[in-house]
């Protein structure tokens, strides 16, 4: 029996079947490994492609102007500009979030007057391309000028209800410095603190007011005022009508007091007269009694 079993495993057809099964198993294993490898490679390639693919983004950036601010004033340029950056997706996203570059206009070599200047970028990654909108700007360069001027207080009204009157207003700042382009500063006629007063005001008014630079026509000028605000106080007192009413009331009370005093004096005099008359009558009666007694 043992010999038959041992011979069974040595038969050629049995070994062929076992070889076939092992070959099939090995074939399936190798194919599965290749598919997994291909899937992994495809996934990695897709991720790399996504990271390396080009992308565009539009970023709003503040505009820097390079000039000697102690000598010149620049006007006419926009505060912000837009720049469209294009490049690798990850790099564009990072640049858009951090904004670690700047857009500037170099005016350091320009003379006073009007100029058309091209904008430039600084600090932008070399792998990115950019397009600034607008690409050129118009600027007006003027000499800088600073003067000192007095503060003028202007009230919205001079008359109040109920006969109250406004006193002389007072500002805690008497003079200010006005800075701007020479052309604008030369047009400044006065620095005004405008105070609105309600018509029914009865108590002193105190306001913090923003100062304005006006020309001769009352138009506001584009200059810098330092300090920009002032505290204004206006005393309010009773006017002529209120004083007249109080005076009439006092006069009436004075007359009443005088009349009462006169009536009291009259009563006192009358009483004193009565006393004197009574005393005289007593004296006369005494004299008559004395005379009658002597006759007897």
Fill in the DSSP letter of residue 110: P
The domains located in the chain, with CATH, are: 54-134 (2.170.120.30), 144-238 (2.170.120.40)
State the Rg of the chain over Cα: 54
* pLDDT at site 91: 92
pLDDT attached to residue 57: 94
pLDDT at 167 over 60: yes
| Average of per-residue pLDDT values in the chain | 76
Q: pTM score, two decimals?
A: 0.53
Per-residue confidence band for 29, with pLDDT thresholds at 50, 70 and 90: confident
Q: Specify the DSSP element, H or E, that contains 72.
A: strand 72-75
Q: Are strands 120-122 and 102-106 parallel, antiparallel or unpaired?
A: antiparallel
Report percent pLDDT > 70 for the chain: 69
Q: What is the pLDDT of residue 119?
A: 96
**Band of residue 36 on the pLDDT scale cut at 50, 70, 90:** low
Residue pair 184/214 in contact by the 8 Å Cβ criterion: no
**End-to-end C-alpha distance for the chain, whole angstroms:** 210
Task: Determine the distance from the C-alpha atom of residue 209 to the mean position of all C-alpha atoms in its chain, rounded to a whole number.
Answer: 13
- Inform me whether the pLDDT recorded for 251 exceeds 60: no
pLDDT in tens, 169-190: 999 999 999 999 999 999 999 9
User: Is residue 237 within 8 Å of residue 256, measured between CB atoms?
Assistant: no
- Going by pLDDT thresholds of 50, 70 and 90, the confidence category of residue 258 is very low
Question: Would you state the pLDDT for residue 133?
Answer: 94
The values of phi and psi at residue 8, to 5°, are -65, -45
Q: In the predicted model, is pLDDT for residue 108 greater than 60?
A: yes
pLDDT beyond 60 at 46: no
Query: In this structure, are residues 230 and 172 in contact, taking their beta carbons and an 8 Å threshold?
Result: yes
The H-or-E segment that residue 68 falls in is none
Q: Between these two residues, 103 and 51, which has the higher pLDDT value? A: 103
- pLDDT at position 204 over 80: yes
| Residue 7, pLDDT above cutoff 90 | no
């Amino acid at each position: 029996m043992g010999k038959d079993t041992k011979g069974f495993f040595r038969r050629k057809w049995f070994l062929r079947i076992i070889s076939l099964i092992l070959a099939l198993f090995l074939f399936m294993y190798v194919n599965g490994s290749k598919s997994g490898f291909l899937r992994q490679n495809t996934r990695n390639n897709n991720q790399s492609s996504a990271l390396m693919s080009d992308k565009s983004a539009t970023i709003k950036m503040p505009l820097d102007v390079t000039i000697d601010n102690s000598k010149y004033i620049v006007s006419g340029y926009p505060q912000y500009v837009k720049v469209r950056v294009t490049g690798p997706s990850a790099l564009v996203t990072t640049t858009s979030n951090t904004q670690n570059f700047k857009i500037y206009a170099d005016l350091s070599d320009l003379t006073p007057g009007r100029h058309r200047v091209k904008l430039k970028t600084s600090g932008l990654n070399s792998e990115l391309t950019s397009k600034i909108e607008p690409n050129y700007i118009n600027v007006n360069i003027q000499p800088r000028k600073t003067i000192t001027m007095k503060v003028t207080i202007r009230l919205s009204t001079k008359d109040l209800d109920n006969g109250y009157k406004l006193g002389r207003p007072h500002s805690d700042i008497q003079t200010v410095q006005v800075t701007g382009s020479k052309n604008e500063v030369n047009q400044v006629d006065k620095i005004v603190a405008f105070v609105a007063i309600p018509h029914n005001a009865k108590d002193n008014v105190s306001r913090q007011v923003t100062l304005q630079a006006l020309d001769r026509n009352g138009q506001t000028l584009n200059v810098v005022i330092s300090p920009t605000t002032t505290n204004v106080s206006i005393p309010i007192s009773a006017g002529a009508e209120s004083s007249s009413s109080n005076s009439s009331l006092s006069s009436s009370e004075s007359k009443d007091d005088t009349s009462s005093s006169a009536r009291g004096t009259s009563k006192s005099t009358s009483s004193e007269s009565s006393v004197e008359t009574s005393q005289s009558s007593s004296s006369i009666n005494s004299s008559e009694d004395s005379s009658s007694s002597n006759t007897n």
